Amino acid sequence: MKFRKISLICAMVLTIAGSVMLPAFGMAYETPVGMEAGDSFADGNYAASNSGVSMDVSYGYEGNAKSGRYVPVNFSLKNQLDSEFQGTVQAIAMESDYDIYQYEYPVSLKAYEASEESLDIPVGRADVLYVKLLDSQGGELIRKRLKMNVTADIAELFVGVLSDEPDTLSYMEGVGVNYSSVRIKTFEMDTEKMPDNVIGLDLLDVLVITDYDTKRLSTDQVSAIWEWVKEGGTLLLGTGSRVDDTLYAFRSDILEEDYAPPTEKSVDMGVEYSTNGPGDSFMNLVCADVSLKGGTGVLSNDEFPVLTSVSKGKGKVGVAAYDFVDIASFCQVQRSYVDKLFTALLGETKLNDLSSYLYSGNSGQFWSVQNMLNTGNLDKLPNLVIYAIVILGYIVLVGPGLYLFLKKQERRRYYRTAVAVVSLSFAAIVYLMGIGTRFKDTFFTYATILDTTENYVDEYTYINMRTPYNKAYTIALDPSYDLLPITRSSSYEMKPVPRFMGNEDYKVNISYGEKDTRVSVQNAAAFTPKYYSLRKRTPNTEHKGLIGDITLFDGNVYGTVTNEYPFQVEKVGILMYGKMVVIEELQPGETMNLNGLPVINYPINNSFLVSARVTGGYQYPKADIEDPAYMLALSRTNILSFYLDKYSSFYNPEARIVAFSKDQSDSQFLAGGDYETYGMSMFTSTINVKTKKNGETSRSALMKTPTVVSGQYYADSNAIYGVDPVALEYFLGNDLEVETLTFENPSDEFLNSESFYYATLFKGNIYFYNHDTGNYDAMDPNKSVYRAWELTSYLSPGNTLTVKYVCDNTSENNWYVTLPMLTVAGRDK
């Protein structure tokens, strides 16, 4: 992480004034009124005499921040001296585990030079941040105490607004979403303020772009937005009359085909907004009919979807048919429409995660990273058999063996001396035997994910840094990585929150330099784990990766996959829509034809089980840490399971290709030093999946989350609380003339796995809602495929199907029942 120049201190941040310009080297500068030189204020601010440098600091979005995120901090520095100033800006934060983390950035100002700098600091508790300016000798010149605006009683949805008329979108501010469990907080953005790296967008949950020409965004800014979406952000685009302008920067990635010119249409905003009659909720709006690649309508009008979304990585892109500026007058009166809009786009699962994060913090990521890095180097395991032989030999020798030998030699008086000699000899032997199993210095366990696209390679490396001694240590890391500590929350331990005054001794100091990033740890017990996330983006100049042309239709996979890496990859998994194809290996440059390869249906509620099927870990029914093949499969399974949970969605318009290699780069994140490293690298690529063949389309009906009519449904795992009947409304798509509907369960190899024991497949009665009679009709429980003529009475005019599931009373574990996965096929309208 480095300083980046900014041309303007943004209006979106709260400037902390009160900078101090005082004398240096005997020069007489006037002390500001009301403050004596060297004063220390009660609010934590401080300015030393003889500095000659001023510093203003602003942070966050209008002073707002979130725990576990990167917070932008802007500095305005001014040198009043006639000589060069060199020093350090130091930011001190308390992490969620109450450890003190200190970040240091070098600064240099020529005589009378002013500079504006911006940096992004990971803040754990996001409550108070201390910023200090130090001279070249480490003396403190200026201190700022930044009290961040963090709401502790309700989760907030941070929404950035990029528009030529941002004031018009003020109706979104403060709206409660998902039964008011989350509250929207908006921030105005503009072209100059838009970050050109993903870290700068980290605070945002949603980015709204409407009534804006995206041609004004740079290539780096667009790239940063896409990377932010892939990591879980939500991009919401308004179209309307300016559809060409708004979609310009994104159309090649999300549009399936060209669209007709926008026209004025009558849009039903919802019957709940009718006051005087059924037609009272209609608005005449200029709308664009846009079709997204793999997109589904999440908010529909009678004749067309007004909001369509598509998953990208862990995030989403939503495109509205209208411009959000055009509905301002309506939403200022009917603010609940904003709730309806965001709930439909984000889904209850994501909104609930925001709510739970308010209380649990970043602990979820801590535990998942710990689980991924919990394997180690087998070479460090001692050979217990040899140790047992040596110990038994010692017992036999120092006991009866030595005594009988000396007795036979009539030298029993030397027995005590001989015991001491033998004991020392065996101690030396045990010590020498353990040399290969001991750690001599700081060591690392790591997991690296290399995600390749046509233009970039995104590297995500997670490390566990430990030392075998109770002493301070310093490590030099590659400065091209962005570094983020991963800590767990201590709140669940009911520990009192310690006072944070900014003078506490640090636990971890991170110093950013041009040649390296130095991480110094002190006051840490031996083998205490310290987890960090490292990430960087590099151009894919060598065009490496896994590429292909894939079609998924009617449960079969067609097309090819090519290995463009200069080395062999193995355990290649192609994951899409709850289906997978596994290839044992691909040589450099090899193209594999996918036609006829077996397609496996996998359960979407068990990423570990899915990963084990790809890596071969499922072939080991029992753990055997002495088996290198088992440990290799386990390490690969852990990293793939983490990737699926953090960076991928199970229902995605793209295929995720994952692969492994025997060639590992063990120290790619280190800037120097001879340290022991052990870990795993995984290679991933994303390929668009075609779902059309011979004029027909076949796709998962779960790409849009079913609407819960009654009962309890867990969308992220396609499971229900089976004690009570559950009714779900599936949206099959307005663009299809439905011909077949297929109910599919996971493949038998998963059902027979011991790891699937906790999940119960649905067994019971299935009912379809009959729109002609208004009743639910019982279906044959053994029937899995339904034809168009069988569905006539059950499909609504909007192509929805309502299904009721009633579990058998004899079923076990009815509290968590996995439902079948639905696939719909038909001709395009």
Shared domain check, 389 and 450: no
Across the range 150-172, mean pLDDT stands at: 88
Model pLDDT for residues 242-271, shown as the tens digit of each residue: 999 999 999 888 887 788 899 999 888 888
Look at residue 770 and tell me whether its pLDDT is greater than 60: yes
As beta bridge partners, residue 128 has 147
Report pLDDT for 755.
58
Averaged pLDDT of the chain: 82
745 in any annotated domain: yes
488 in any annotated domain: no
The dihedral sign for the CA sequence 484, 488, 491, 497: negative
Q: Which of 502, 529, 512, 490 is nearest to 93 (CA)?
A: 502
Model pLDDT for residues 735-760, shown as the tens digit of each residue: 788 999 999 988 877 766 665 555 67
- Separation of CA 244 from chain center: 31
Look at residue 7 and tell me whether its pLDDT is greater than 90: no
Considering 99, 126, 147, which residue would you say is the last residue of a domain?
A: 147
Shared domain check, 161 and 93: no
Across the range 147-169, mean pLDDT stands at: 86
709 in any annotated domain: yes
Report pLDDT for 81.
87
Report pLDDT for 146.
85
Report pLDDT for 23.
29
Report pLDDT for 757.
53
Shared domain check, 339 and 199: yes
Across the range 698-707, mean pLDDT stands at: 83
Of residues 222 and 377, more confidence is placed in 222
Report pLDDT for 41.
45
DSSP string, 600-612: EE--TT-HHHHHH
Phi, psi of 650 (to 5 degrees): -70, -35
pLDDT-based confidence at 25, cuts 50/70/90? very low
pLDDT-based confidence at 665, cuts 50/70/90? low
CATH number at residue 124: 2.60.40.10
Strand 155-162 and strand 206-209: the pairing is parallel
DSSP state at residue 64: B
254 in any annotated domain: yes
Report pLDDT for 48.
67
Report pLDDT for 34.
30
Look at residue 286 and tell me whether its pLDDT is greater than 70: yes
Considering 125, 147, 169, which residue would you say is the last residue of a domain?
A: 147
Q: Which of 601, 607, 679, 598 is nearest to 637 (CA)?
A: 607
Shared domain check, 751 and 712: yes
Q: CA distances (Å), 161 to each of 218, 407, 789, 819, in order? A: 17, 93, 47, 39
Report pLDDT for 150.
74
Count the Cβ atoms, other than its own, within 10 Å of residue 433.
Answer: 14
680 in any annotated domain: yes
Shared domain check, 684 and 609: yes
Considering 128, 147, 166, which residue would you say is the last residue of a domain?
A: 147
Model pLDDT for residues 482-541, shown as the tens digit of each residue: 888 888 776 656 667 778 888 888 999 999 988 999 999 998 888 888 999 998 888 999
Q: Which residues of 272-310 are buried (b: 16+ CB within 10 A; e: fewer)?
A: ebeeeeeeebbeebbbbbbebbbbbbbbbbeeebbbbbb
Shared domain check, 683 and 563: yes
Shared domain check, 462 and 337: no
Most confident of 183-192, 305-314, 758-767: 183-192
With the CA atoms of 547, 548, 551 and 557 taken in that order, what torsion angle do they form, in degrees rounded to the nearest 10? -100
Helix (H) or strand (E) holding 235: strand 234-237
Least confident window among 88-97, 475-484, 619-628: 619-628
498 in any annotated domain: no
Look at residue 762 and tell me whether its pLDDT is greater than 90: no
Report pLDDT for 614.
93
Shared domain check, 448 and 326: no
Least confident window among 225-239, 320-334, 755-769, 798-812: 755-769
Shared domain check, 304 and 163: yes
Shared domain check, 159 and 143: no
Report pLDDT for 639.
93
Domain count, the chain: 5
CA 640 – CA 621 distance, rounded (Å): 19
Shared domain check, 169 and 305: yes
Q: Residue 315: helix, strand or coil by DSSP?
A: strand
Look at residue 38 and tell me whether its pLDDT is greater than 50: no
Which residue segment(s) compose the domain that 427 sits in? Answer: 383-433
Model pLDDT for residues 573-606, shown as the tens digit of each residue: 999 878 899 999 999 999 999 998 999 988 877 7
Across the range 325-340, mean pLDDT stands at: 92
As beta bridge partners, residue 683 has 450, 659
Report pLDDT for 184.
93
Across the range 51-80, mean pLDDT stands at: 84
CATH number at residue 732: 2.60.120
Report pLDDT for 29.
28
% of the chain with per-residue pLDDT over 70: 87
Report pLDDT for 752.
64
Model pLDDT for residues 73-86, shown as the tens digit of each residue: 888 899 888 889 99
pLDDT-based confidence at 361, cuts 50/70/90? low
Report pLDDT for 12.
30
Report pLDDT for 438.
67
pLDDT-based confidence at 5, cuts 50/70/90? very low
Going along 46-127, which residue ranges are E strands?
Answer: 46-47, 53-59, 69-79, 85-94, 100-109, 114-123
* pTM (2 d.p.): 0.81
Q: Which residues of 246-266 are buried (b: 16+ CB within 10 A; e: fewer)?
A: bbbbbbeebbeeebeebeebe
Shared domain check, 600 and 465: yes
Model pLDDT for residues 788-803, shown as the tens digit of each residue: 999 999 998 888 899 9
344 in any annotated domain: yes
Report pLDDT for 15.
31
513 in any annotated domain: no
Model pLDDT for residues 604-646, shown as the tens digit of each residue: 777 888 899 999 888 887 877 778 888 888 899 999 999 988 8
Report pLDDT for 476.
92
% of the chain with per-residue pLDDT over 90: 32
pLDDT-based confidence at 44, cuts 50/70/90? low
Report pLDDT for 385.
76
